[in-house]
Amino acid sequence: MNNPGQTKFINRVREALECNIESRRNWAALDLNIDQDRIDTILAEISGRSHEDRLALLDSLTSRCHLSDITIGTGESPADAAQFIVRLVQEKRVETGKSGGVAVWRHPLLDQLKLAEACAHLDPPLRLYFTAAGDSKSDAPVDSKTRDRIRRQVVDSTIGVTSVDYCLAESATLVLRTRPGLARSVSLVPPVHVAVISLTDVIANLEELYVLLNQAGIMDVADITNCMTFISGRSTTRDIEAVAVPGVHGPGEVHVFIVTGTA
């Protein structure tokens, strides 16, 4: 953290907690507390899953989604996901009387949806925003003009479409890592969030997630500050009179579409 304002704020928090401002958490000491044999077993289970095994995980995910106010859809191809989004756009236009835009990650799976073609027949035309700032795999910083443009487009959108890094079947939790081209705001700002994922993105639980992150080097000290978002249903608050109000701190609706394929 090199921002002076952030550093000043964190130091004030440390002072209030009577912590040593000069002390720093030793991230290198973080440990999964899982022995290597268990890690190897988990990795073997994941890599050895058949299509039928993954469909069983999907059944578990589906049952959990219903408990978490997540709408779930499935289809064999990305084209099915595109039609799911088109129907949602039409529904929201009828409900709100407005024709808000749709913000979409520039992502390999989402590119296969060919949303521009799928939405070409809509009247009025859909404002479709792709939020990538160049190569989504690049670590190059995004300039301020590009950030401002993306921010305006996301705010103008009724629906935000993302993919995920992983989806936990046990808790119906979407795991998204923020990196260039994959703006976190797409999953947070629009009133409706749609996550389009592949069946292979579905894993069993947190234990598998931590093992996969560790295996990929994401838990390394140099990468520990990267933002990772966990989404388990729509945004809801009960701050006022203990009454549940959706959509206050994020989307009021979360939809997940799983592309199952046939392999």
**pTM of the complete model:** 0.80
The pLDDT value recorded for residue 24 is 61
Given 3.40.50.720, 3.40.50.300, 3.10.450.50, 3.40.50.10420, which CATH number is that of 49-259?
Answer: 3.40.50.10420
Q: Which 3 state secondary structure label does DSSP give 82? A: helix
Alpha-carbon distance 207 to 39, whole Å?
9
The pLDDT value recorded for residue 136 is 41
Residue-wise pLDDT for 26-57, tens only, equals 555 555 567 888 889 999 999 999 999 999 99
Q: Which residues of the chain have pLDDT under 50?
A: 1, 134-139, 221-224, 263
Pairing, β 166-168 against β 173-177: antiparallel
The pLDDT value recorded for residue 192 is 95
The pLDDT value recorded for residue 261 is 85
Identify the residue whose tokens are 């529904």. 91
CB neighbourhood size of 50 (10 A): 8
The pLDDT value recorded for residue 137 is 45
> Which of these, 103, 101, 72, 247, lies nearest to 185 by C-alpha position?
103
208: left (phi over 0), alpha (psi -120 to 50) or beta: alpha
The pLDDT value recorded for residue 99 is 86
